[in-house]
Amino acid sequence: MSAESISKRVHVRVKGIVQGVGFRPFVYQLAQQQHLYGFVFNDSQGVSIELEGESESIERFLEILQKNPPPLSRIDSLHVKDLEISGVAGFTILESKKNSSLFTMISPDIALCEKCKAEMQDPTNRRYAYPFINCTDCGPRYTIIKTLPYDRKNSSMQKFTMCKECQNEYEDPRNRRYHAEPISCHNCGPTLTLLDKEGRVLAKNSEAITLTCKLIGEDKIIAIKGLGGFHLVCDAKSDRAVLNLREKKKRPSKPLAVMFENIQVMEKESTLSEKEKELIASKEHPIVIIEKKSNSTLSKYLAPNIDRLGVFLPYTPLHVRLLQELQNPIVATSANLSDAPIIIDEEDIFLKLSIVVDAVLTYDREIVNGCDDSVVMQNENGKVALRLSRGYAPKSILAPSKSDKKVLAVGANQKNSMAFMFDTNMILSPHIGDLNSLEAFEYFTRTLETFKKFYEFEPDIIVCDKHPEYETTKWAKLITKENPNIQLLQVQHHYAHALACMAEYDLDEQVLAFCFDGTGYGDDGALWGGEVLLADCVKYERVHHIKPFRLLGAEKAVKEPRRVALSLLFESYPLDEVLELKNETIKSFTKEEIKSYHVMWKNGLNSPYTSSIGRVFDAVASLCGISQILGYEGESGLLLESCAKNITLEKSFSYKLEEEQIDITPMIKEILHASKKEEVCSRFIATLVNIILEIAQQHPLLPIILSGGVFQNILLVNLLVEEFEQRKLRYYIQKETPVNDGSIALGQLYYALKIGEKYE
């Protein structure tokens, strides 16, 4: 390019997910192709580029950059400003700079890419069989970052000095490992070590993998360090190993996820649609809930009494090596205690799970930020996110407008995640979990401090739920009391569900929202959960709800479906008739117990009212004899779904819409006369569909929202989608964010944004 042909110089500011994703080498190579001069560097706001050359070449550069950016990147904004021509030749990549304001988005961890996988399987490659291979298209990000900008010195790779060969790759803009911060090889990377349960070294590196496989083959339980925490691993085909794991972890029936070497092996054990295969093999490699074959050779104790199974592919090179050598699927479940966060270092494994594990396979690269596996499934509407974590989170969403305030939303008590808003960014943290223990809440505060450090974030507004006993609510009230300059907003739980869906689709209109879940604190102090709301972004009206019934024993009823069923029977029959009923619920109690519970019910003793459809699922499971006591949250829904067959809407149970109340008393009475549990489950799902359709017909011009944990039920959603499509109704169901409590924080954030817009 001659000096005479230079006609323009511009500064380009790019914001979004643009660090740790190969953005700078992409810019470098694109600038070379277009014969442009200038430079590019990372800073705390994203990527800064200066370009000089022919005007047409600059325009082509910008067009290509926006239309075909690097595959893992996401451009949220791109601003161009004219500069004076400098006349300096060449294009260079400069060292990262730190600005006062932090606006760049952090990339989630990404599963091993096909190029790296091919290299580690090539005996002639210098990284052959290397269990920590990665490049700019794959590997750890969020889990190793300490602060921004995302550079090696700001990550847990700082302690590993690159060898000469890795350094050359790292500094070569034409190499796909250019500034891949976790870059390493056999000569300069982390060391793999197998320890016995006393912490003594058994083997290292390749020998550690071989010995680990041998132990798994002997039905041992091994704790294995992944990207964002440890898994507890055992042979997925061994009843003995799986039962041993269940007994030691005190997890009697909750399904266990299974990792397979490849899709082909997975298909032998499960029924996979093409869409499910795409989800399983996506760059995130999440756990995907699929249908298990009845003749599966896997242990029958993996997912007792249900026809579903959580499956995933190896997403780290270490997992790939293990599965290839083992030639057998493995259970890979999060290493934690009940209600506690995933364990991220071996010291805690020895401290908390020493009676569970027989050995620990670990390595000396620190996990800075814990991050559990993501869980998704496929229904007629598309992907359903059940747990947003590794691969998907931190989840950054471009806000529809700029916020002048920094907002922190602290979410719900179950399936907790938190959300942050600043400038035009909305960020949903990875899954934190249920905040039922001190350890879990410490994980919450640790995650909060991590994001505050990332973005130099101090909230102007904190948004929480209205439930006075939520740990997040108590924390938010305490912080705002101690800091009067921080504003406190509270958003009703089910309204936050609706708002989360509206946030995902950027809706700013009135909607008809069906918010069905297990529990949420209502405006009247009762426990809501079967709510139909007329809502917009700043207000809502409760137009329908399940007729309230009592929870016998309050929290105890959540774990004992029979208590819920008994309460609904008390609503329908006098005590003497209840005692004479020939039903599975009644059989599970003594007559004295039933009489005692009736006193509780009649006098409201430790028996709060609820309108929860989640609890109705429990009651139906009890009445038809599927389950009287639950092993885990949501079990009754999965059992009902597995049992329901050949659902037809014409064969639903009866119910009444009486002004605001949805009275299911007729359904309870009809269930007692149904002969088969399959009939009960099928007719119950059909009843819910008909209730929703009847109410939707009363508001034909409003878009429909389905949100809340009940809409994780595939059969229910598939039937609704089919009916909505036939009736040409506009509807929205979350795909990219959890439909359950995992996105409550996002709904809270959206409310703060919209209420701020209204009163500006």
Instruction: Say whether both 629 and 688 belong to one domain.
Output: yes
- Among residues 654, 677, 702, which one ends one of the domains? 702
Coil, helix or strand at residue 91: strand
- Among residues 133, 156, 190, which one ends one of the domains? 190
Q: pLDDT at position 103, please? A: 60
Instruction: Say whether both 201 and 273 belong to one domain.
Output: yes
Tokens for 181, please give them.
């911060």
Could you tell me if residue 719 is inside a domain? no
Instruction: Say whether both 567 and 689 belong to one domain.
Output: yes
Residue pair 585/552 in contact by the 8 Å Cβ criterion:
no
Give the chain's residues under pLDDT 70.
1-5, 98-104, 758-760
Number of domains comprising the chain: 5
Instruction: Say whether both 574 and 481 belong to one domain.
Output: no
Could you tell me if residue 153 is inside a domain? yes
Could you tell me if residue 728 is inside a domain? no
Structural domain of residue 441, as residue ranges? 382-509+740-758
C-alpha angle 329/332/333, rounded to 5°? Answer: 150
Query: DSSP string of 372-398?
Result: PPPEEEEETTEEEEEE--TTT-SEEEE
Residue pair 241/293 in contact by the 8 Å Cβ criterion:
no
**CATH number, domain containing residue 67:** 3.30.70.100
C-alpha angle 28/30/34, rounded to 5°? Answer: 115
C-alpha distances in Å from residue 347, one per residue of 1, 215, 305: 59, 21, 36
Residues 6 or more apart in contact with residue 592 via CB below 8 angstroms? none
Q: pLDDT at position 18, please? A: 87
Instruction: Say whether both 145 and 217 belong to one domain.
Output: no
Q: pLDDT at position 688, please? A: 98
Residue pair 43/96 in contact by the 8 Å Cβ criterion:
yes
Whole-structure pTM value: 0.92
Q: Quick: pLDDT tens for 356-415.
A: 999 999 999 999 999 999 999 998 888 999 999 999 999 999 898 989 999 999 999 999
For the chain, what is the total number of helices (H) and then of strands (E)?
24, 30
Instruction: Say whether both 568 and 623 belong to one domain.
Output: yes
Instruction: Say whether both 215 and 229 belong to one domain.
Output: yes
Q: pLDDT at position 3, please? A: 52
**CATH number, domain containing residue 349:** 3.90.870.10
Instruction: Say whether both 305 and 289 belong to one domain.
Output: yes
- Among residues 33, 63, 93, which one ends one of the domains? 93
Residues 6 or more apart in contact with residue 8 via CB below 8 angstroms? 52, 53, 54, 55, 58, 82, 85
Instruction: Say whether both 571 and 684 belong to one domain.
Output: yes
Coil, helix or strand at residue 430: coil
* Gyration radius of the chain's alpha carbons: 28
Instruction: Say whether both 505 and 575 belong to one domain.
Output: no
Q: pLDDT at position 759, please? A: 59
Cβ–Cβ contacts within 10 Å for residue 60, how many?
15
Tokens for 140, please give them.
């750890």
Q: Quick: pLDDT tens for 741-751.
A: 999 999 999 99
Instruction: Say whether both 280 and 357 belong to one domain.
Output: yes
Could you tell me if residue 725 is inside a domain? no
Instruction: Say whether both 555 and 574 belong to one domain.
Output: yes
